[in-house]
Amino acid sequence: MTMDREKQYRQMAARGKYQRLYAHLCGLEARVWRTTFSEIESIIGFGLPASARLHRPWWANQGRGNGHSQALAWGAAGWETAEVDMEAETLLLRRRPAATARRLALDEVWPVHSAGAWPEGLSLRREEIYEERI
């Protein structure tokens, strides 16, 4: 079910207002991208809203599927914002670590191996374990 949601988020970002930013980030091979607000405007093909230049929260990373269309664009592409400088109108985008995308199951970390049949006469009952034997 998680994969279906991730796919839906990517589809929404690919059709959304910031689809060109999403496509640009998907095409980058770098781990980090330092850019300017103006460069982002040239990629998306329109001017950023005034709030992007006035309010730092506009650049906030948001939970999956929650939040604004611009955050969905970079989030669905696997990126997050960092080092936003409102005065210089620059920011750093970096790829999210792959480890946060999926948690490993215990069986993947510590594989289950069969030890064979349970020995005949072996019991784990407390009474039998602590029974004094002569």
Residue 117 domain flag: no
- SS3 breakdown of the chain: % helix, strand, coil, rounded to 5? 45, 15, 45
Average pLDDT rounded to a whole number, residues 12-25: 89
Residue 114 domain flag: no
Residue 34 domain flag: yes
Query: Count of domains in the chain?
Result: 1
Nearest by Cα to 75 from 60, 90, 56: 60
Residue 74 domain flag: yes
Residue 124 domain flag: no
Residue 85 domain flag: yes
pLDDT higher than 80, residue 122: no
pLDDT digits (tens, 9 = 90+) for 44-79: 999 999 999 999 999 999 866 567 889 999 998 999
pLDDT of residue 120: 79
pLDDT digits (tens, 9 = 90+) for 68-117: 889 999 998 999 999 999 999 999 999 988 644 445 566 555 666 666 77
pLDDT of residue 43: 94
Residue 17 domain flag: yes
